[in-house]
Structures are given as structure tokens and as C-alpha cells.
Amino acid sequence: MTTTPCIIGAAALPVGRYQAPRDADIQTLERELLAGVVIEALADAGIDKSLVDAMVFGLERDYPRQRYFGTFMASYLRLPATATLAEVTGNGMTGGLAFDQAANEILLGRARVALALGINLETGIPTDEHLDNTMRHTGDVDFHTPFGFTPISWYAMDAMRYMHDTGATRAELASVAVKSRAFAVHNPLAQYRTPLALEEVLAQRMIVEPLGLFEVPGRADGAVCIVLASEAVARASGAPYLRLRGRGYFHEGAHQINEVPNDMTAYVAAEAAGKAAYDDAGIAPGDLDFAEIYAPCTITEVLASEAFGLAPRGRGAAAAAAGETGPGGRIPISPSGGCLSRGHPPWVTGLYSFVEAAEQLRGRAGKRQIVSAHMGMIVAELGNYNAALVHILEAAR
């Protein structure tokens, strides 16, 4: 027997810097940060914690001292689980996978209410250690890592190739950062909320050419809890809720940069996962009111928007520059402000996108509210979009 998974509550810390350096006299306790978020999410859902049957945590990064964190938090919260308690991981896809597995517990009828939750702390770690850890997580330790080949390097190569092939300008790519900030100005969870002009983006120092400081994500901490429930529980609450309409996944069987030459600017996994999700939901890209896309750099959002059919191939940057993906545009992309402005605590970034969807589809997004928003797409990815996980959500009317 199956039942439709629904989102009935959500809460998150404002993205920022919470982790103390290791030698600090007072240390940040991740359990205290996440526990407060869980309490807030359950209050938002309007339910008692006794209804929770399952908890799926995004596995923390390597830095926090507490291990076996999921079962530790179950004890700290005094939350028994009759369905499952698990920790999942998938680098940048971790948050999306936590949601996916929590939804499965509802879908299979094993849980009335399931939590998808997690915390990411990394800002107190020395830069050299963080960079080494990131490269070993994301590249081939026998080839990429010894040469210092970072994720931003891959995206920069994509950007150079894209501009070469399409004639897109750096200013058009940079307009994604301006658009993202225009949304984030009105998002109380956003890490960066000061308005940005295109000239400011273009004036910043290069990180990896052609991507400047404001075109790549800063380091960030965050914590999120999403409350999922069966539709029977959701209806009984009497409050607005979101229904999971479709889901798609694809991993292309490559790790970051394939040794087999391929099209650098075609996100194969995103296209395949997007098609699967659209087919599962019975919709087309044009039926979406917004998309929350995991995109650490300006070029990433551009290429993903094309792969998901939200802009024609080779026109994603031009669409952003023309305002089509910004406030009041044809298809708003990442109205939260996305990785560049809302912030990017990587292993919970995917969960932050569900918070934005919950706000938009319940009409609670304030000045960044998309008028009459009824259906949205949430995307998580790993690698250089070697894999994509897509969920389609709709407002229950």
C-alpha cells in the first residue's frame, strides 16, 4: 500500500557562520542548533513529536566531533522511531537524498510522519584543511587532487567552453549573481542580503577565471528540518501543505570529469533526471512556477536551466540577463537566492531548497513571493552534475 508524501512543516537556521575554531574556549554544539530547528519545524507543522515514526539525517561532514549523530540526536530529542532512523550521504546531494528517503517511508506506508533533517558546520575549519578535504571528496585522489583541481576549476572550464561555443559574455553569466541577490534581499534565511549591481560583480577579483568572487559560493553553516507526512495526516491538520507530485534521478556513471571525452556544457544527468520527474508528474517544464536548483556557480545555474528545459540550449545566460529567471520573470530560478546568496552549506543545501518550496507554495514568501505559485521543482546534484535528483512539488488546494 502506498500513500502520497506531503510536506507539512519546515524550519531552518539563517545560513551563516556558527562553527567556532577548534581552539576557541566556547564551542558550538551542533545538537543545540539542530534541536531548536526541529522544535520549530514541528510547531510549523502543528503536530506533536509523538507522531514522528522516522528520521532521516543528512550525514554531517567530517569536521564535527560528535559521531553517530543521528542516533545521538534521537536520544537528545527523546524521539523513538518505529519506521527508520538513518543517516545518508552523497556530497552535495545529501540533503536531497535525506528528503528522498524520508518520503519513501511515507510512500511505503511505514511512517505517518517522517523528518528529513541535517546540519552542516565547516566555517571554523582552517582553509587548507577544508580545501584538501573538499578535493578528496570530489576528485580522483590519484589524478585530480595532487594537482589541486578544485570543483570551482571544473565550473570555470565549463564557463570558458560555454562562452566560446555560444558567444555568451561574462556579463551575462554574472547577471545570475545579480538576480540571485535580488531574491535574497527579501529572504531572512539568506547569508548575503545586500543588493548587488552587475558592475560590482564584474569588478571583483578572480577566483578561477572567468568566475569572480561573487560568482562562486562562500563557506557557510546551516541546519534544516523538513516535516513530511501522509496525506491523511496533512489533511487532518487543516493547514496548507505540499504534495510530492513527481521524482526523477540519474547518475551518468562518471566521477566529476569523465576520462571519456564528452560535451562539457550538456548536463546529461540533469536532462535525464528532469525528464523522468516531468514524466512521473505528468507535466512539462512550462507548467512550473519556479525551480530551486542546486547551482554553486553562475555557470552551473545556466547549464542546469538549459538541461531542465527552462531555457533553450545556449540561451541560459541570455535568459538570466534578460530577467526571465529573476523576480517577476517567466520562470524564477532559486527564489531563495540560491547557493550564491541564500548560501551554500553543502550537505544541507538541498534541504534549504525544500524550505523555500514550502514558503512559496504556502504563500508565505513575503516580498519574494511568486504570484499564484502552485508547482515547483527542487534539484540536488553531486559532482559536476554527474548525478541529479529532482522532485516536483505542488500546493494542495
Q: What is the pLDDT of residues 55-106, one digit of tens each?
A: 999 988 777 778 889 999 999 999 999 999 999 999 899 999 999 999 999 9
Q: Is the pLDDT reported for residue 136 higher than 90?
A: no
- pLDDT value of residue 129: 81
Mean pLDDT, rounded, for 294-312: 98
Nearest-angstrom CA–CA distance, 272 and 248: 8
Q: Please report which confidence band the pLDDT of residue 262 belongs to, taking 50, 70 and 90 as the band edges.
A: confident
Following DSSP, what letter does each residue of 332-370 receive, concatenated?
-B-TT-HHHHT---HHHHHHHHHHHHHHHHTT--GGGPP
| 316 neighbors 306 (Cβ within 8 angstroms) | yes
d(CA 321, CA 309): 17
Q: How confident is the model at residue 362 (pLDDT cuts 50, 70, 90)?
A: very high
Contact 66, 27 (CB under 8 A): no
* Predicted pLDDT of residue 301: 98
Predicted local distance difference test score (pLDDT) of residue 64? 77
d(Cα 33, Cα 223) in Å, to the nearest integer? 7
d(CA 214, CA 51): 43
DSSP 24-81: -SS---HHHHHHHHHHHHHHHHT--GGGEEEEEEEPP-S--S--SHHHHHHHHHT---
- Angstrom distance (rounded) from CA 242 to CA 94: 21
Classified as helix, coil or strand, 292 is strand
State yes or no: pLDDT of 242 exceeds 90: yes
Average pLDDT of the segment spanning 380-388: 93
Domains in the chain (CATH in brackets) are 5-125+219-237 (3.40.47.10)
What percent of the chain is modeled with pLDDT above 90? 81
Question: Which among 164, 176, 198, 166 is positioned nearest to 299, based on CA atoms?
Answer: 176
- Helices 170-184 and 298-307, packing angle to 10 deg: 90
Tell me the average pLDDT of the chain: 94
Contact 327/368 with Cβ under 8 angstroms?
yes
Tell me the C-alpha distance between 320 and 118, whole Å: 31
Interval 189-213 mean pLDDT: 97
Type and span of the H or E element at 201 = helix 198-203
Q: How far apart are the first and last CA of the chain?
A: 24
Look up the pTM and report it.
0.96
